[in-house]
Amino acid sequence: MIQKAQVIRLILAKCPWFTSTWEEYRTLWRREEAGIYNDLGEFATFVVNCYAQQDTEPVAAAFGVVEELLVGGEEEVRTAAASGFLEDVRNIASWRPFGSDVFIQWLGPQSKLAWAEIEQTRRGETNLADVVRAEQTAAKNKPKS
């Protein structure tokens, strides 16, 4: 099982392009722990920026790592990979001219399931309260693994 403390080491090993961005980010946090969701949000921003610069090698590597987290991570890691990375990629890219669908080509089997779940959760919500309510309902109804 991949544990929370191993996530960034795995990301940096499999996606070394992220190292300088990670170091800058850690400096902003004065080397304090920012939390797995913030860390994966920074990684998501990096990936979307790479795509915007037409640098797809780090994008492919990043989605490969996220698939590993979704398959082999403990529950908190799997949840963070879906919400802290995939959902952030979708949100960040939605403001870019290329949108979020360009990333579908790099989704592995578990990532596709998580991506579809995020999409379904978002369908029909018109405000933040609806989104929060839908997420709480989905979390309550999600089978324990």
Tens digit of each residue's pLDDT (9 = 90 or more) over 65-79: 999 999 999 999 999
**pLDDT > 50? residue 97:** yes
Instruction: Look at residue 127 in the predicted model and tell me its pLDDT.
Output: 47
Q: Which helix H or strand E contains 56, and what residues bound it? A: helix 56-72
The CA radius of gyration of the chain, in Å to the nearest whole number, is 15
Q: What whole-number distance in Å separates Cα of residue 99 and Cα of residue 24?
A: 26
User: Nearest-CA neighbor of 68 among 56, 59, 77?
Assistant: 77
pLDDT at 134 (0 to 100): 61
How far is the C-alpha of 65 from the C-alpha of 70, rounded, in Å? 9
Report residue 80's pLDDT band, with 50, 70 and 90 as the boundaries: very high
Domain that includes residue 75, residue range = 4-141
The mean pLDDT of 51-65, rounded to a whole number, is 98
Q: Report residue 120's pLDDT band, with 50, 70 and 90 as the boundaries.
A: confident
Alpha-carbon span 16 to 22, nearest angstrom: 10
Task: Give me 46's structure tokens.
Answer: 């990096």
pLDDT of residue 87: 95
Number of helices (H), then strands (E), belonging to the chain: the values are 8, 0
Q: What is the count of structural domains for the chain?
A: 1
Phi and psi at residue 136, to the nearest 5°:
-65, -40
Inter-residue contact 98 to 52 (CB < 8 Å) = yes
% of the chain residues with pLDDT over 70? 85
pLDDT tens digits along 39-55: 999 999 999 999 999 99
First to last CA, the chain: 13
Q: What is the pTM of this model?
A: 0.83
Whether residue 60 has pLDDT greater than 80: yes
